[in-house]
Amino acid sequence: MSEAPSESEAARQTAAAGRGLIAAALAALRTRLDLAAVELEIYLLVFARMLAWLFGAVACVLLALAFAVTALIAALWDTHRMLGLLGGSAAFVLLAALLGYLGMRTLRGRGSVLSGTLAQLSEDQRRTGGTP
């Protein structure tokens, strides 16, 4: 005949099940944190590369424009030097506005930093029966 498990045996089984559940939750959390770290690292590398190229391009454009304005002022020194100075200043202001607009548009078009991780966490929440 089989005997019903004693209360102490049931308590041990419940405790073991609870420990297993906690271990699984911690393993899932560890996996999600690893995913977040990798995603953040990739984002930072792309961002650093983009900044380096952008800085180089802006520096070259500004140097080219500065030499062009200097050449224009030298050519117009005897006749219209103020027009050359104001035209060069206006060109720098317009270039700064254009670059600012392009930079803001680029940053706005970017997805969120941890979008993949957040999507995976939402999927985990949906699978466990929580609200997404």
Each domain of the chain, given as residue ranges in start order, spans 7-127
Compute the chain's Rg from CA coordinates: 31
> What pLDDT, on a 0 to 100 scale, did the predictor assign at position 113?
66
> What residue type is 43 in one-letter code?
Y
* pLDDT, position 1: 46
Longest dimension (CA), the chain: 117
Instruction: Report H helices in the chain.
Output: 7-75, 81-109, 115-127
To which residue do tokens 């254009």 refer?
98
Would you give per-residue pLDDT tens digits along the chain (132 residues)?
A: 455 567 788 888 888 888 888 878 888 888 888 888 888 888 888 888 888 888 888 888 888 888 888 888 888 888 888 887 888 788 888 888 888 888 788 777 666 666 777 777 777 777 776 555
Q: Which amino acid is at 13?
A: Q
